Amino acid sequence: MRTQFIRKYGLLCCTAVYALAINAFSPATGSAAAVPNATNDGNTATPIQHVIVVIGENRAFDHIYCTYTPKSGDKILNLLSVGIVRADGSPGPHFVRAQQFTTLGQTSYFISVPKAGKTAYKTLPPPTLSGAPMWQQSDCGIHNAKPGNPTGCLNDLYPFVITTYAGATADKGGGTSMAFYNVQDEDAPLFKKLADEYTINDNYHQPGQGGTGIQHVFLGTGDDMFWSDGNGKPAMPPAGQIANPNPQSGSNNQYTVDGRFSNCSDAINAPGVLPIVRYLDALPYPAEANCVADHYYMLNNTNPGFLPNGVVDTSGISKGTSIPPSSLRTIGGALNDKHVSWAYYGGAYNAAVNLANGSTNPADAVGNTYCNICNFESYASSIMGDPAQRQTHIKDVIDFYAAVADGSLPAVSFVKPDGLLDGHPASSKLGLLEGMLQKIVGALDANPALKATTALFITFDEGGGYYDSGFIQPLDFFGDGPRIPLVVVSPYSTGGHVVHSYNDHVSILKFIERNWSLEPLTGRSRDNLRNPTVSPTDPYLPLNSPAIGDLFDMFQFGPKG
Q: How confident is the model at residue 559 (pLDDT cuts 50, 70, 90)?
A: low
Alpha-carbon distance of 11 to 247, in angstroms, equals: 27
CA distances from 352 to 359, 361, 371, 372, 396 (A): 9, 12, 9, 9, 10
List pLDDT tens digits, range 117-150.
Answer: 999 999 888 776 555 668 999 999 999 999 999 9
Q: How confident is the model at residue 167 (pLDDT cuts 50, 70, 90)?
A: low
Which residue(s) pair with 488 in the sheet? 199, 457
The secondary element (H helix, E strand) that includes residue 356 is: helix 349-356
Q: How confident is the model at residue 5 (pLDDT cuts 50, 70, 90)?
A: very low
pLDDT at 142: 96
Q: What is the pTM of this model?
A: 0.92
Q: How confident is the model at residue 31 (pLDDT cuts 50, 70, 90)?
A: very low
Which residue(s) pair with 268 in the sheet? none
Alpha-carbon distance of 131 to 124, in angstroms, equals: 16
Contact (CB, 8 A) for 347 and 371: yes
Contact (CB, 8 A) for 168 and 128: yes
Class of domain 8-23+49-70+184-554: alpha beta
List pLDDT tens digits, range 311-322.
Answer: 999 999 999 999
| Cα 265 off chain centre by | 23
* Among candidate residues 144, 146, 158, 139, the one with its CA nearest the CA of residue 62: 158
Alpha-carbon distance of 89 to 17, in angstroms, equals: 15
Alpha-carbon distance of 358 to 100, in angstroms, equals: 49
pLDDT at 166: 65
Across residues 198-204, what is the average pLDDT?
A: 98
Q: Is the pLDDT of residue 98 over 60?
A: yes
DSSP 8-19: GGG----SS---
What's the chain's average pLDDT? 90
* Among candidate residues 417, 494, 410, the one with its CA nearest the CA of residue 450: 410
List pLDDT tens digits, range 103-123.
Answer: 887 889 999 999 999 999 998
- CB 263: neighbour CB atoms within 10 A? 24
Across residues 152-156, what is the average pLDDT?
A: 96
Q: How confident is the model at residue 184 (pLDDT cuts 50, 70, 90)?
A: very high
Alpha-carbon distance of 426 to 513, in angstroms, equals: 35
pLDDT at 18: 29
Q: Is the pLDDT of residue 190 over 70?
A: yes
Across residues 361-384, what is the average pLDDT?
A: 97
Contact (CB, 8 A) for 454 and 50: yes
Which of 2-6, 262-266, 504-508 is least confident? 2-6
pLDDT at 133: 63
* Cα atoms in the 13 Å half-sphere on the side-chain side of 191: 34
H runs (alpha helix) in 295-378: 314-319, 331-337, 349-356
Domains of the chain: which residue ranges? 8-23+49-70+184-554, 95-183
DSSP secondary-structure letter at 91?
B
Across residues 404-428, what is the average pLDDT?
A: 96
* Among candidate residues 142, 106, 66, the one with its CA nearest the CA of residue 253: 106
DSSP 148-170: TBTT-B----HHHHHHHHTT--T
Q: Is the pLDDT of residue 17 over 90?
A: no
Contact (CB, 8 A) for 103 and 119: yes
Q: How confident is the model at residue 194 (pLDDT cuts 50, 70, 90)?
A: very high
